[in-house]
Structure 1
Amino acid sequence: MDDIRFPQKTTSKTISLLSQIPFPVAASVEAINQKDGTKFINAFSQKVIMVDEGKQHNGQDKLAEWFEEALVSHGASVDVKKASVSDKCVVLDVMMDGDFVASHNITEPFQLYFAFVLENNFVTSMLITDWDSFQPSMKAVWANRANFEDPVSSVRISPRPQQIPPPGWVKVKMQAVGLNYHAVFNARGLGMHSLKFPHILGGEGAGVLEDGTEVLLYPAMGDSDFEGDETVDPKRNIFSEQTNGTLAEYVIAPHRNVVHSPRELSAVDASVLGVTWLTAYRMLFTKSGLRAGQTMLVQGSSGGVTTALIQLGAAAGMRVWCTGRSPEKRELGLRLGAEKAYTSGEQIPEKAAAVFDTSGEVTWSHSMASVKPGGTVVTCGVHSGRIVPTELMSIMIQELNIKGSHLGTFQEFRDLIHFVVARGIKPHIGLVLSMEKADVGFRNMIDGKTEGEIVITV
């Protein structure tokens, strides 16, 4: 490479700092200020990985496109304020200037952090963040903004800063995380509380403490002074709403929310109990009023909550019926313990004592038509729509019960764990993905391509 030649606008401090860091990094900064794409690309390896705003760009060709679109088109320049050099890593604290108001609504100059990894005198990766990358970071799955129509487009899989546990909290190194629809709602901007972006997604999971203790996470937090059923605490929230979520290498959690994991459960199996299976447990054992031997109808047979309901109901001695949109989905329900499986919307031969609806608008009429007089419809989901028709005369005359259900109490969580272990239940996991492929899991959930719970390994 040629010697570095700094443009006149480069400050003396920047020149001084760049003279003390590895040549490829200094050359890339000079290239930004000179708007020289060739010189910029020459500082990087052919298989470079660059991440900016959580978006990954692989290879020199994609990096060249990014350089023109993200920097040159905005007249960008950088002024280095601080540098940190370790064995193969260089982190720069920079102020970026240019014309970003119209496209990004950003007032210039603004602070960014550039982190470079080097090998054989080339930059092999570059990470640009608006958070202090001098501090420890971690892999994470997060949403950069709310997008109701296409939530997957907001999902990012890239480093985020680690958090320091405040008093009364602990750090958990995550091993496996159950992927459920709550994360989809969050990416859409929906939650019990106003959501702030960016934030890490995920509401349940299993991991280990610093001393190696294997643990599960109880998902719900709230007002420590609230008395009664904590699922109706007005301040209740779960991971990823007012705190970072569980789809990360490390999670900080209140002491109370960390529960020892039984040795009978693997991290993957345990990871789904916090939200998905706890939701199903409360629907069945707290809300439905069912007794062993009675008939229950589960609307669906392949989702996380529906497969949990089938497995829990069969283990508890219920007569379990389910519905499914395809022969494969109905067959799965039968394999998991259902006595009968019907096509979606099919009239069942006799009405059930309780119907479990996890979808909403699409299945609601069939749910109401399938419950016997005095029976109960338990609802926990609105995936297909939140507004449903209600015929009050039937509800009144047949004395039907409609009950909503959300998560479960801490005691119900402990009871669920004991029940699963005592009955030897192995939660049905349909798909296990690495964190790098979490977006595939999100898309499968939204498209209904599920065969039980989806788990992300960390």
Structure 2
Amino acid sequence: MRAIIHAGTRGIHGLQYTQQANRYPGKGEVKVRLKAAGLNHRDLFLMNSPVDLEASFIPGSDGAGIVEAVGEGVTNVKIGAEVIINPCLGWENMNQVPVVPEILGGPTDGTLAEFVIIPQENAIEKPSYLSWEEAGVLSLSAMTAYRALFTKGNLQPGEHVLIPGIGGGVATYAAMMAAAIGAKVSVTSRREEKLEMARKMPINQAVDSRSDWKESMGSGSVDLILDSIGPATFQKYFDVIKPNGRIVMFGSSSGDDITIPTRAIFFPQITITGTSMASGQEYKDMVDFMEKHSIHPMVDSTYFLKDTALAYERMEKGEQLGNISILIREE
């Protein structure tokens, strides 16, 4: 099968477009012939810090396709079924969080290939309203956004949610999901082109990250903040968050170390919590939510499999708004 592998060199330069041996599903597994896949920042992280440069792997956590074969004991997935892939392996109950969730696409071979083999419970029926490109980019970002907003953030209709750093997949899904339940949505970015594109979304306001947030959003106006940035914006959250507000952290694009202003936490009784990905239970809830509200993933751009390195270059430069799609078969 044709596949993208990463080996030998850190970063995007370690990507190779190759022919790999075919594999067959084992007990409880299904083999999916992929139609489309999606890129995530996690892929770049793995490519830039591999444990063993000689150990090759197929990147990619998101994907959608058609079930080609099933292994022994598979009962709930049929050959020919159109499926999307839940990339989080072995986590079913949302309250039983694994120490380190296993994710498709490193070290387990991922979706940037013609075929992928996954446990049967990770193959979920593809919503018919989604195109292959949309279904192919859905999973990792959308499930992370769903858990952050609703399981951990407990967002309610009418509340005000702030999502700094609009542009990546999680942020765009979160903005659309929050708007769908009737929440007030504010987003920020340093890039004017991203702010202009964000203003075309069903949100309330898009603000320059470097501006005075108290002036644009109002002091003490925000109920929930989804933080994927960390130290670069963390101190500004206390200018706009309400007493009893919540901060849900799911990333740290500007670094790991933050200074916590303790009095700004305990006097107004702010809750800070972390999250990452989601359980199988929440994944199914997320898919149902997307279908109920007819939310379409925002596809930034589409590349063929052989051009995957170019797609990652776009992501590495931070140029995308939404998700980058990879078409597996060239038409």
* Contact map agreement 1:301 1:332 (CA 8 A) in 2: no
Partner of 2:75 in structure 1? none
Q: 1:195 to 1:233 in 2, by over 3 A?
A: farther
Task: Say whether residues 1:205 and 2:63 are aligned partners.
Answer: yes
Secondary structure of the residue aligned to 2:295 is coil
Distance in 2 of aligned mates of 1:218 and 1:196? 28
Match of 1:168 in 2: 28
Q: 2:191 aligns with which of 326, 343, 347?
A: 326
Q: Deviations over 1:230-274 (max 9, x none)?
A: 4x2135301023421111110000111111112111111112221
After superposition, give the CA deviation of every residue in 1:376-412 in whole Å (9 maximum; x if it has no partner): 1111112221222222221122211111111111121
Paired residue for 1:371? 241
CA contact (8 A) 1:186 1:195 kept: no
- 1:162–1:229 Cα change, 3 Å: farther
| Contact kept in structure 2, 1:205 and 1:217, CA below 8 Å | yes
Which secondary structure state, in structure 1, belongs to the residue aligned with residue 161 of structure 2?
A: strand
Give me the whole-angstrom Cα distance separating, in 1, the residues matched to 2:134 and 2:93.
32
Equivalent residue runs for 1:52-201 within 5 Å:
138-145=1-8, 147=10, 151-189=11-49, 197-201=55-59
In structure 1, C-alpha distance between the alignment counterparts of 2:132 and 2:54, rounded to whole Å: 30
Structure 1 CA distance for aligned equivalents of residues 100 and 156 of structure 2: 33
State the alpha-carbon separation in 2 of the partners of residues 392 and 366 from structure 1. 14
Structure 2 CA distance, aligned partners of 1:439 and 1:323? 28
Which SS does the other structure have where 2:43 is aligned?
helix
Aligned to 2:208: 343
The question of whether the paired residues in 1 share the 8 Å contact of 2:8 and 2:53 is answered with no
Sequence identity of aligned pairs in percent? Answer: 30
RMSD: 2.0
How far has the Cα of 1:227 moved from its partner?
A: 6.5
Q: Please report how far the alpha carbon of residue 214 of structure 1 lies from its aligned counterpart in structure 2 after TM superposition.
A: 0.6
1:442-457 paired onto structure 2 within 5 Å: 442-457=312-327
d(CA) in 2 for partners of 1:163, 1:189: 27
Can you give the 5+ residue segments of structure 2 that lack an aligned partner in the other structure?
69-78
Q: Deviations over 1:270-301 (max 9, x none)?
A: 12221011111111111112210111111022
Higher relative CO (CA 8 A, sep ≥ 6), structure 1 or 2?
A: 2
Give runs of aligned pairs for residues 293-308 of structure 1, distance below 5 A.
Answer: 293-308=158-173
Unpaired segments of 5 or more residues in structure 1?
A: 1-137
Give the 3-state SS of the residue equivalent to 1:166 in structure 2.
coil
Against the structure 1 CA distance between its residues 435 and 361, is the aligned structure 2 distance closer, same or farther, given a 3 Å change threshold? farther
State the secondary structure of the residue aligned to 1:157: strand
> Which one of the candidate residues 352, 363, 374 is aligned to 2:222?
352
Q: Distance in 1 between matches of 2:256 and 2:326?
A: 28
- Partner of 1:425 in structure 2? 295
TM alignment of 1:14-29, pairs within 5 A: none
TM-superposed deviation, 1:179: 0.6
Where 2:207 maps in the other structure, the secondary structure is strand
Offset from partner CA, 1:54-104 (integer Å, 9 cap, x none): xxxxxxxxxxxxxxxxxxxxxxxxxxxxxxxxxxxxxxxxxxxxxxxxxxx
1:158-189 per-residue CA deviation (whole Å, 9 max, x = no partner) reads 22222222211111011111111111111123
Normalised by the size of structure 2, how large is the TM-score?
Answer: 0.89
Distance 1:167 1:215 in 2: 19
The number of residues matched between the two structures is 313
Larger Rg: 1
CA contact (8 A) 1:299 1:367 kept: no
- Greater alpha carbon shift after TM alignment, 347-356 vs 295-304: 347-356
2:271 to 368, 378, 401: 401
Contact 2:94 2:281 in 1 (8 A): no
- Rounded to whole Å, the distance in 2 between the matches of 1:309 and 1:220 is 19
3-state SS of the aligned residue for 1:161? coil
Q: CA deviation at 1:414?
A: 0.9
Aligned pairs for 1:240-259 (under 5 A) are 240-259=105-124
Name the CA shift for 1:426/1:398 in 2 (closer, same or farther; >3 Å): same
Which residue identity is paired with 1:449?
E
Distance of 1:344 and 1:199 partners within structure 2: 37
- What's the CA shift for 1:140? 1.4
Is structure 2 residue 243 aligned with structure 1 residue 386? Answer: no
Alignment of 1:41-56 (within 5 A): none
Shift of 1:326: 2.5
What is the one-letter code of the residue matched to 2:234?
A: W
